[in-house]
Structure 1
Amino acid sequence: MEWTFTSENDLATTFATAINPFWQEHVTEGAFKGQEGFSVRYAFCIPKNPRSTVVISSGRIESYLKYKELIFDLYQNGFAVFILDHRGQGLSDRLTHDPQHGYVSSFDDYVDDLITFVKEIVKPKQCGELQLVCHSMGGAIGALTLLRVPTLFDKAVLASPMFGIKPALPDWVANGLIRTGLAVNRMRKQQSGYFFGQTPYIAFPYSLNKLTHSKSRYALFRSLYDEEQEIQLGGVTTEWLAAAHEAMHRIEDSARAVTTPMIIFSADGDSIIDNTRQRRVAKKMPNAELEVIPRAYHELFTESDSIREPVLNRLCDYLSS
């Protein structure tokens, strides 16, 4: 099958002439009430005669606004696309006294929201198979969702899933640091506080970025977060890290029970994810195909064309097979 994708050449022009008008004309935005009454924002678009219905579970700090190019590409190739902003980030409600805090009390809250989203918003409009596409933290949320409701999705694609994070500290060190951080927050009588070394939002220059090789896609990402300051998010809190630590252990311990057919893309140049642990976990999942993407940094969906296009070709081939 021949698929067509946007190119990083003249991408700013493509946004102005094609992607932003598409967003205005074809994308519906809304919100639903998640666990504990928090507002969770979402967006969706449905082409004529869709091949299937894709649900996107995004990464930490992300908003669906960051996914405009990918959503446009999937829509142009015939896929219905639904995406939510996880609680505590993007346009969804923030959860603590500081809106910059990367916080969640448990990854089960993310899973609850995703299942509610699918049942209340996606299912009534579903066409064809229901498929899950995840990035990074969204991959951990996706794996936990597949453990909770194994029949919810027909197949899945996980890009750079967060089954382990760097630095890959021994458990006793990680647990000690987390316990210390939680104790400090309790002493300060705070619901949450940044983990050691974490700060509010910082816009790093391209030269220091380890997310993508694409200058144009990185520039668009940073300009979006400058323009839409409400989607900015700072570093992780100790509470988020404790929740992530527990979630990643649960995924590894239960990996053999994740039976949904899937592709797992592992970015070989990833400096965010612990690829050793990620690949170990992936190999335990009985119906998962592990594909290592040479040279790629963490963000496969916003990488340079030479990396991104083969990944998207494989993704679209798999979802339409």
Structure 2
Amino acid sequence: MDFRLIDEERYARQMGERVLPALEACRVEGWMDPAEEPGLPPVDGRLHYVCYDAAKFDDLREEGATGVFHGAVVISHGFTEFAAKYAEMIWYFLLAGYSVCMMEHRGHGHSARDVDEDHIVYIDDWRRYVADLAKFAETVGRAYSDGQPMHLYCHSMGGGIGAAVLEQHPTLFDKAVLSSPMIAPATGVPNWVASLAAEILCACGMGRRAVFGQGPMDPEFKPEEHEGASQARVRWYHEQRLADPHHRTNAAAFSWVRQALRLSRAVQKTSACDRIETPILLFQSGRDVWVLNEPQDRFVARVRDGGADIERVRYDDAVHEIFSMPNATLGDYVGRILDFYGSPQLVIV
């Protein structure tokens, strides 16, 4: 069966005329109360999510759709991202026969925020991200999988959160893809220095303030900042951010940095890696400037030593967002993911 990627030459048009109307026809929007976790104080504000039903999608008779239900994919997005950015990947999962469930992490998109400045991403404790994602998967994701496999697809920050979920809930997902996962963020300085600075600044009452040099989103699209990526894709992402004020988060609060580094240390512990049972496919970007490659390699080795099945696939020329790459790379990437999940043989064209 042919499985066609979106044509980069007609990207915006195909997304607007074909992909988005189809997604809207099978989309359900919902809200979830935050998870209650021992050791975490309760918080106000609900978390926003969207789900896409594979059966309703198949009723549309889209060209390339398998027409056979294979379960559900839960998506865990990256720092400053939002659900609408993943429309193309959601489209491919639906074509392959998967329902898709995606929650916007706290502080992102339409989910609850804990700071007044809309462009700042703040979190008080990284464990809250993990508890919320696990609850979402156990309730909403499980319902959409309808007795079939439930898989995880993560990117960047969402990959760090996903890794922690796999460690703390080893039987929750059947398989997991970690794409450029934030096993450790790239802070621009040795992470022990960044951690010490963030701890001190948070202790001084600056936890909710934006990191020095970071601010609101720049409305101007700058192609030179996305060299190597598909310009059609990254321009479309930028336009989605401009279209909705909820999509314009752009700066890390000092508390977010502190918690990201605490998460990093936690997920790399040998004792934590030993608890993983879920088969993992980890994608690494050779030109990544947002997360570090070496900690990913260390994580892979420790998970493998713990007895779990994990494979690393590296794209030497890929940027951080592998799903933003030109079709020549994206086709291989999507094909490997669907093959790993166990979808029927598809020909990516």
Write the deviation string for residues 182-207 of structure 1: whole angstroms up to 9, x where unpaired: 244x1xxx651112222222346333
- 2:319 matched to which residue of 1? 297
SS in 1 for 2:186: coil
- 1:315 matched to which residue of 2? 337
Distance in 2 between the 1:299 and 1:203 partners? 20
Q: Provide closer, same or farther for how the CA distance between residues 211 and 136 of structure 1 changes in structure 2, counting only shifts above 3 A.
A: farther
Q: Provide closer, same or farther for how the CA distance between residues 207 and 231 of structure 1 changes in structure 2, counting only shifts above 3 A.
A: closer
- 2:53 matched to which residue of 1? 46
- 1:85 matched to which residue of 2? 104
Question: Deviation at 1:212?
Answer: 5.8
- TM-score norm. by structure 1 comes to 0.93
- 2:9 matched to which residue of 1? 9
Counterpart pick for 2:288 among 270, 275, 280? 270
Counterpart pick for 1:259 among 274, 277, 301? 277
- 2:241 matched to which residue of 1? 225
Q: Residue 70 in 1 paired to residue 92 in 2?
A: no
Residue identity in the other structure for 2:288? D
- 1:21 matched to which residue of 2? 21
SS in 1 for 2:177: strand
Write the deviation string for residues 143-174 of structure 1: whole angstroms up to 9, x where unpaired: 11111111000110110000112246335422
Distance in 2 between the 1:144 and 1:42 partners? 20
Distance in 2 between the 1:22 and 1:212 partners? 29
Contact 2:201/2:207, CA 8 A, preserved across alignment:
no
Q: Residue 146 in 1 paired to residue 185 in 2?
A: no
SS in 2 for 1:209: helix
The size of the alignment, in residue pairs, is 317
Farther off after superposition, 18-27 or 206-215: 206-215
Farther off after superposition, 224-233 or 32-41: 32-41
- 2:214 matched to which residue of 1? 198
Contact 1:262/1:288, CA 8 A, preserved across alignment:
yes
- TM-score norm. by structure 2 comes to 0.86
Question: Deviation at 1:27?
Answer: 1.2
Distance in 2 between the 1:92 and 1:115 partners? 16
Contact 1:89/1:102, CA 8 A, preserved across alignment:
yes
> Once superposed, what is the RMSD of the aligned Cα atoms?
1.8
Q: Structure 1: 5+ residue runs without aligned partners?
A: none
Contact 1:181/1:195, CA 8 A, preserved across alignment:
no
Distance in 2 between the 1:7 and 1:281 partners? 35
Contact 1:212/1:302, CA 8 A, preserved across alignment:
no
- 2:80 matched to which residue of 1? 61
Residue identity in the other structure for 1:266? Q
SS in 2 for 1:21: helix
Distance in 2 between the 1:166 and 1:65 partners? 25
Contact 1:96/1:191, CA 8 A, preserved across alignment:
no
Q: Structure 2: 5+ residue runs without aligned partners?
A: 36-42, 56-67, 344-349
Distance in 2 between the 1:149 and 1:96 partners? 30
- 2:129 matched to which residue of 1? 110
SS in 1 for 2:51: strand
User: Which runs of structure 2 are paired with 1:167-178 in the superposition (5 Å)?
Assistant: 167=187, 169-178=189-198
Percent of aligned positions that are identical: 26
